[in-house]
Structures are given as structure tokens and as C-alpha cells.
């Protein structure tokens, strides 16, 4: 008789989550079974729940930011990027994107593997009705397919710290990889949600001189300050002109060298173009869902002599570096304090609602608690 475990399932777009029993498949060579410790609740999960993304198969098991413990693995089967064998009992994170082919034009010629058409994402585009079924983190167990990049969590890093290696920090790592922060530079970050806060941390680690977080939620701005932001700007309390003036005042009149966008709000983009200094770099990594069009002035953009970069998805290296960054810096930055809400599997529905209302910074589901 097949073993099963419980998972929270979105039966169809917009419908309430249901807790169902799902079959745990036998392991094949190179695969592993993970007991889920924390499944992060991502803003994208809310969009998925409402069916706002194309190409997503329902019924769906949500959860692409996941950490846990290896329950079983065939011996000698899996090595991590550092050449260590993944073993039972290992506490692990993994790259939620799987099946990047490294055989196509985007992977090998354009060197843009996040645009590979063959990739799938756990908890988003993998189909829970097909083998290996347990493809999302809102579940007691996840089945990690062959070629999933599994990474060991260092002993001194808690699951609450490590959850940020699941999505928020890799996104920020990718953004900073595309637009590196020179030490001593002025940085502004639009949005102080999980991605924005990770950008604040990376700006701090990279020796930025000023780091200004911009948001409307006082608690998020306060957290940004705790994590190293030198200044904060509340968009409810200031005008664009005031923000622009402020940012110039703290950078010898120039404005920030780099502005990162991590808001998910289309209106942030014309503001970012306005805020960044002449000859500066504007990096957009938060526009993951369509929030409509905005007006920009091409002449103004041209005159400013800008680099504007948009950043899609994450590569394995970004997850690898994210986990190392947490391991190297969790004494300095209290990642785990950003986990403001915890839910059982049965309360997964509530977790989505809390996330939707933006009451949490990071909510997690703990299916085995």
C-alpha cells in the first residue's frame, strides 16, 4: 500500500485550500524525499491562488521557498555544488527551479538560463497530478527530483534564517550580480518587503555608504533601519520631489548611484528613473506580475545617461550564494526576525490571507509542527 502525506492544495484558481492525502512516490536514482520544516509564503503564492499567472497547472501544491530535512535518499546519489554527498538527516535548501536544460540557445548561447523554456518551478509550474506529485512546500513532504540542486544548511543557521535562501535573497543576489554595488556608493531601495530588505542587507555587506529604504509601511521601514539602512523614506509622508531632494542631499548633490526596485508596483518605475543620479543604474527586479502600464519620458531618460536593467528569475548560483550569505552573516543580520508569522498546514489558508493583507514580513507554514 502506498505511503501518503498531507498537503494543502489549491483545487482551482480562487478556491479555498484543501488538505488532502497525497501519495509519496518511491525514490528513483538521484532523487530525495524532504520533510518540510518551513515553507515560505511568497507574494507570488497569493497571485497563484487567485490564478493570475499563466501556465500554472491546477490543482496546485503551493510553496517554492522551502527548507527541511532529508528523509531518505539513495546512497551515493546526490552531490551538492561543493561535492559533498547529500545524506539522510541533512538540513537542506534547494533551488526551486528544476530542469533548466543547459542544452538550449538561452542556456548556452545567450547565457540567460532564467529564460530557458524547459525549466519548471516547484510550487508553481510543476503539475501535482503527475509524478512525483509532492512538488510544493505546503506539504509534509516534498519529493526532490533528480538534478534538483540541493544545498546543505550550515549547522549554525536555523530554518527561520535559511528560508530567505528560498526566493527573496536569490532575487536580490541576482539583482546585485547584474548591478554590483561599489563600496562607498549611494544606494536606494524601493520597497521594503522581503526582497527589498535583502537588498538592504546586501548593500550593507557590500560597503554602501548610504542605503535608503523607501516604502509606505512604518514597520517595514523600521526593520530596514535595523538591518542597516542609513535612511528611510515613507512615500505616504513625503512627495516625490522631497524624496528626490533628500537623496541628492545625502550624496553631494548627485542622487543615488544605484536604485533597486523591489515593489511589485508599476508606479515605482518612473519614480526610480527620477531618483537615480545622472549616469547611474536603475535595476528592476520586483515587477513579477502585471500591474499595468506607466508613463515615462524618453527624453528625460536619454538626458540622464542611464543604465536600466531588469532581472528575471534566479539561477542556481544565486541560491548558492544566498545560502552562503546567510551562513556568513546571520550573526550580523537577524534574518530569522523577519519571520513574523508561523502557521500549521491546516492554517495555510490563513497564511495566504495574512500575506495578502501584507501584515507579515515573512510568513511561513510549518507542516510538521
Query: Quick one: which of 72, 216, 238, 317 contacts a second copy (CB under 8 A)?
Result: 317
- Tally of CB atoms within 10 A around 288: 16
β pairing state of 4-9 and 32-41: unpaired
What part of residues 36-75 is at the interface with a second copy (CB under 8 A)? none
**CB of 194 or CB of 367, closer to a second copy:** 194
- Tally of CB atoms within 10 A around 174: 23
Dist. CA 145–CA 283, nearest whole Å: 33
Name the minimum Å distance from CB 76 to a second copy.
Answer: 15
Dist. CA 304–CA 8, nearest whole Å: 49
Name the minimum Å distance from CB 295 to a second copy.
Answer: 4
Name the minimum Å distance from CB 287 to a second copy.
Answer: 4
CA-nearest of 198, 169, 194 to 95 is 169
By rule CB under 8 A, what string of x and - marks binding of each residue 195-224 to a second copy? -------x--xxx-x---------------
**CB of 236 or CB of 302, closer to a second copy:** 302
Query: Quick one: which of 149, 158, 232, 314 contacts a second copy (CB under 8 A)?
Result: 149
**CB of 236 or CB of 293, closer to a second copy:** 293
Burial of 343 (0-12, 13-18, 19+ CB in 10 A): buried
SS3 of 70, please? strand
Contacts of 200 (CB under 8 A, 6+ apart): 189, 192, 211, 213, 224, 227, 228, 229
Size of the site for a second copy (CB under 8 A): 77
Rule CB under 8 A: is residue 156 a binding residue for a second copy?
Answer: no
C-beta of residue 140 within 8 angstroms of C-beta of residue 345:
yes
Name the minimum Å distance from CB 364 to a second copy.
Answer: 25
Dist. CA 170–CA 338, nearest whole Å: 16
Rule CB under 8 A: is residue 334 a binding residue for a second copy?
Answer: no
Q: Is the dihedral of CA 92, 27, 7, 56 positive or negative?
A: positive
**CB of 295 or CB of 331, closer to a second copy:** 295
**CB of 245 or CB of 290, closer to a second copy:** 290
Dist. CA 126–CA 119, nearest whole Å: 10
What part of residues 103-142 is at the interface with a second copy (CB under 8 A)? 103-112, 114-115
Name the minimum Å distance from CB 2 to a second copy.
Answer: 29
**CB of 15 or CB of 108, closer to a second copy:** 108
Dist. CA 44–CA 208, nearest whole Å: 29
**CB of 59 or CB of 154, closer to a second copy:** 154
Residue 307 is placed in which grid cell?
A: 543604465
Rule CB under 8 A: is residue 311 a binding residue for a second copy?
Answer: yes
Dist. CA 290–CA 52, nearest whole Å: 9
Query: Quick one: which of 130, 155, 183, 357 contacts a second copy (CB under 8 A)?
Result: 183
Which listed range, 14-22, 63-71, 161-169, 314-322, lies at the site for a second copy (CB under 8 A)? 314-322
Name the minimum Å distance from CB 289 to a second copy.
Answer: 6
Q: Which residues pair with 234 in a beta bridge?
A: 215
Name the minimum Å distance from CB 105 to a second copy.
Answer: 5
What part of residues 247-306 is at the interface with a second copy (CB under 8 A)? 252-254, 261, 266, 268-269, 277-279, 284-306
Contacts of 250 (CB under 8 A, 6+ apart): 186, 210, 212, 230, 231
**CB of 102 or CB of 131, closer to a second copy:** 102
Report phi then psi at 121, rounded to 5: -125, 125
**CB of 321 or CB of 366, closer to a second copy:** 321
Amino acid at each position: 500500500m502506498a505511503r501518503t502525506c498531507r498537503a494543502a492544495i489549491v483545487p482551482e484558481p480562487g478556491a479555498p485550500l484543501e488538505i488532502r492525502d497525497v501519495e509519496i512516490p518511491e525514490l528513483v536514482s538521484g532523487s530525495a524525499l524532504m520533510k518540510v520544516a518551513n515553507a515560505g509564503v511568497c507574494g507570488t503564492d497569493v497571485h497563484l491562488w487567485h490564478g493570475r499567472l499563466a501556465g500554472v497547472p491546477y490543482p496546485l501544491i503551493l510553496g517554492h521557498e522551502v527548507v527541511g530535512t532529508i528523509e531518505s535518499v539513495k546512497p551515493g546519489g546526490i552531490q551538492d555544488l561543493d561535492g559533498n554527498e547529500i545524506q539522510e538527516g541533512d538540513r537542506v535548501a534547494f533551488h526551486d527551479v528544476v530542469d533548466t536544460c543547459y542544452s538550449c540557445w538561452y542556456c548556452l548561447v545567450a547565457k540567460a538560463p532564467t529564460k530557458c523554456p524547459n525549466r519548471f518551478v516547484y510550487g508553481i509550474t510543476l503539475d501535482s497530478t503527475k509524478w512525483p506529485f509532492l512538488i510544493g512546500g505546503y506539504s509534509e513532504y516534498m519529493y526532490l527530483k533528480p538534478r534538483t540542486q540541493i544545498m546543505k544548511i550550515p549547522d549554525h543557521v536555523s530554518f527561520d534564517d535559511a528560508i530567505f535562501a528560498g526566493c527573496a535573497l536569490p532575487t536580490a543576489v541576482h539583482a546585485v550580480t547584474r548591478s554590483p554595488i561599489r563600496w562607498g556608493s549611494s544606494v536606494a531601495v524601493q520597497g521594503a518587503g522581503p526582497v527589498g530588505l535583502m537588498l538592504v542587507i546586501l548593500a550593507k555587506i557590500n560597503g554602501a555608504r548610504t542605503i535608503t529604504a523607501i516604502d509606505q509601511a512604518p514597520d517595514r521601514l523600521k526593520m530596514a533601519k535595523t538591518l542597516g539602512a542609513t535612511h528611510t523614506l515613507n512615500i505616504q509622508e513625503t512627495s516625490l520631489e522631497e524624496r528626490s531632494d533628500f537623496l541628492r542631499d545625502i550624496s553631494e548633490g548627485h542622487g543615488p548611484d544605484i536604485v533597486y526596485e523591489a515593489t511589485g508596483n508599476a508606479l515605482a518605475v518612473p519614480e526610480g528613473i527620477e531618483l537615480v543620479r545622472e549616469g547611474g543604474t536603475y535595476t528592476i527586479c520586483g515587477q513579477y506580475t502585471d500591474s499595468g502600464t506607466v508613463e515615462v519620458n524618453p527624453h528625460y531618460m536619454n538626458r540622464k545617461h542611464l543604465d536600466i536593467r531588469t532581472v528575471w528569475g534566479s539561477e542556481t548560483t544565486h541560491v548558492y550564494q544566498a545560502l552562503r550569505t546567510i551562513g556568513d552573516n546571520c550573526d550580523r543580520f537577524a534574518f530569522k526576525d523577519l519571520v513574523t508569522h508561523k502557521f500549521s498546514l491546516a492554517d495555510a489558508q490563513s497564511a495566504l490571507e495574512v500575506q495578502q493583507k501584507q501584515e507579515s514580513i515573512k510568513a511561513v507554514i510549518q507542516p510538521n509542527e
